[in-house]
Structure 1
């Protein structure tokens, strides 16, 4: 019986604190910061490969490709943040089609 009441208390505490995470503002702020850090971190990681030709070895081309795809994904995250902020897709139908085509095909 004791375990049952303890579980009930834990679940009730979680449901009370869940209202903190219902706001879109916190999600948008955290996602925006994450997108900026990812974008600039990846861009800085690509700089040595762009400036030093000695780093352009066959193995490093795989790293460059991975960094380029991460850069594109951080660009996509910007559109996800915009949609999360408004709660719907605020850009045009053409923009929705273009973003969907770029990142899902």
Structure 2
């Protein structure tokens, strides 16, 4: 599926890592994971890529930008890093996510 903003927006989870990625319509994102503070920042879709920038006060990699090739298929979000120097974000994003089902 071609990635666009509407296909990315929502709550995504990775049960193995117990991490959660929230992508909001207003261009904000947050990454939550056990043992660490939430990473928050901004995001945008560019062609088939997801570009994220951590907030300047983020606990890991403040202000760091990361670029990922993004693909959404059958409720799965696959993010392949092609430019990200933030190891924490890169580790969690590269593990992939499933769309969180609404209760």
Both proteins in one fold, TM over 0.5: no
The one of the two structures with greater contact order (alpha-carbon pairs below 8 A, sep at least 6) is 1
TM-score by length of 1: 0.22
Q: Which has the higher strand share?
A: 2
Larger radius of gyration: 1
Q: Which has the higher helix share?
A: 1
TM-score by length of 2: 0.22
